[in-house]
Amino acid sequence: MIRIFNIKEERTILIDEKSSMVTFYDNNWNEENPHLVIELKGFHFSHHAMTCEDCGAFQKAFGTKSTDWFIDYPEKTKRLDLSNFGKTMDENHMVFRISEFDYGTKMKLNIDSDTVESLGEKLNIHLDREDYEGCCKIRDKINAISS
């Protein structure tokens, strides 16, 4: 079972990856852009999100700086990076296809690979450059991850 969840907002989305209507790819090995792909055949996620509070909250998180969304899939739990939403290959995206042979939603979800240690190193670099705005953003992310 794939579980997308947000503990702070008490939101949970469950997807049965063993269903013939679901295809799941773990591209966490991609160092430049670790991500997951979920294909939901015969399912319009955006339309569903209009009536489902949990799915609606997840969809609204795309393009925000939220670090509160996680994905739990067989033997792994990862934090999602929903900060960018667009059409390029390195951004999160959601595509709905409708045709005679292919109907459904395909989601590409980026994994946030930052750790407190790696962010601490980035923070020191920004301090050396006296980039205090960048320091504040990194500090906020460290606080979000740590809490």
DSSP string, 71-132: EEETTEEEEB--S-BSSSTTSBEEEEE-SSS--EEEEEEEB----HHHHHHHHHHHHHTT-H
Q: What is the mean pLDDT of residues 52-57?
A: 96
Pairing mode, if any, of strands 69-73 and 2-6?
antiparallel
Q: What is the mean pLDDT of the chain?
A: 87
**pLDDT band per the 50, 70, 90 thresholds, residue 121:** confident
**SS3 label, residue 34:** coil
**SS3 label, residue 9:** coil
Rg (CA), the chain: 17
Q: Which of 33, 6, 1, 3 is nearest to 111 (CA)?
A: 33
pTM (two decimals): 0.79
Largest CA distance in the chain: 57
Over residues 67-91, the pLDDT tens digits come to 789 999 888 888 898 888 887 777 8
Crossing angle, helix 116-128 and helix 132-146, to 10 degrees?
A: 170
